[in-house]
Amino acid sequence: MSKLSIVVPVYYSADTLQMLYDDMKEKILDKIGDYEIVFVDDGSGDNSYEVMESIKAQDKNVVLVKLSRNFGEHAALLAGLSVCTGDCAVTKQADLQEDSTLILEMYESWKKGNKVVLAIRRSRDENALKVFMANRYYGLVRKFVNPNMPTGGCDCYLIDRKVIEVLELLDEKNSSLTLQVMWAGFKTDMVYFDRKDREVGKSRWTLSKKIKLAADSILSFSYAPLRIMMGVGFVFDILALCVFISVLVEYFTVGTPVAGWASLMCIMLFGFGLIMLMIGVIGEYIWRALDASRNRPPFIIDEVVREDKE
């Protein structure tokens, strides 16, 4: 009898957790068989953990994981996967934007032999700007990181125990867990769903976190930024050589004096700005290498509460 683990990262989700559990209990839990729900409190500042304890009192299959502080969703999911005991595990967001029945579809696909099952957004019932920015992000990922990234993207996925073991071996920080799952290369299937707009609670997915995810996704899996910098530098060298030759030719053939302080300063300032930008990109790579060399864990678990109260 196979066992399914449902890993839910929790961050300021006190207003949706009970609703999430009720929805799963009504739609899927009785149909799964052997299961466990792993709630991971990622340093929430509200009463999310108290709600998690209340849910555990209702269901002995609930496991509570409390991190020592906020480490981010990537780390929270890794912590949940490291604690779960299922033959496979599915990630589930606490914002109620994904129908719980999606888990059943993914579970059935896993039973057919697929080690990875990605839940792909067929449509998004969200504002146009949010959809546009999400599509641009997934476009960048397809262009520079992984051409197999689906158009709609995915945040929810089911992975086999073998994939979980690979993720624990990687133990990476400042990365994208979804891209790590796709990078692992196991037999993969896709199921499609319609993402609903958030109706309860306030999203903590801020612009700065979105920018960091985009940077982590590209810098952790691609050296395209370095290649682009080399290409830009090469083009500027060619342009500078052409301008230098034209100035010399005009000076010796026509006698035009070499002047143009204002234009020269504009070019210099633009060039310096470009150089600083390139140094910043290199610095991002160096900082990630330094952060990895410290060998600090991506998360610290404060406590784990199971049925046996360990």
Q: What are the boundaries of each domain within the chain? A: 3-206+298-305, 224-293
Determine the Cα–Cα distance for residues 210 and 121; give it in Å rounded to an integer: 18
Q: Which amino acid is at 81?
A: L
Instruction: Tell me what the pLDDT averaged over the chain comes to.
Output: 86
- Of 156, 125, 150, 287, which Cα lies nearest the Cα of 212? 287
Average pLDDT over residues 117-129: 83
H/E element, 280: helix 261-293
Single-letter residue type at 171: D
202 vs 7: CA distance, rounded Å: 21
Q: In this predicted structure, which of 123-132, 139-148, 168-177 has the lowest mean pLDDT?
A: 123-132
Average confidence (pLDDT) over 7-24: 92
Which residue has tokens 């290409």?
A: 231
Check pLDDT > 70 for residue 261: no
CB 63 within 8 A of CB 84: yes
Average pLDDT over residues 124-149: 83
Nearest to 42 by CA among 306, 263, 298, 307: 298
309, pLDDT greater than 60: no
**pLDDT tens sequence across 174-214:** 888 888 999 988 999 999 988 877 777 677 677 788 888 88
pLDDT of residue 308: 54
Residue-wise pLDDT tens digits, 54-82: 999 999 999 999 999 999 888 999 999 99
What average pLDDT does range 28-33 have in this prediction? 90
Task: Tell me the percentage of the chain whose pLDDT exceeds 70.
Answer: 95
- 301/310 Cα distance (integer angstroms): 13
The pLDDT-based confidence of 162 (bands split at 50, 70, 90) is very high
Average pLDDT, stretch 203-228?
81
Whether the predicted pLDDT of 310 surpasses 60: no
In angstroms and rounded to an integer, the radius of gyration of the C-alpha atoms of the chain is 25
- What mean pLDDT do residues 146-156 have? 83
Residue 102 has pLDDT above 70, yes or no: yes
Contact 109, 32 (CB under 8 A): no
Report the CATH superfamily, name and number, of domain 3-206+298-305.
Answer: Spore Coat Polysaccharide Biosynthesis Protein SpsA; Chain A (3.90.550.10)
What band does 259 get if pLDDT is binned at 50, 70 and 90?
low
Contact (Cβ atoms closer than 8 angstroms) between residue 64 and residue 129: no
Provide the residue type at 230 as one letter: M
Enumerate the β-bridge partners of residue 108. Answer: none
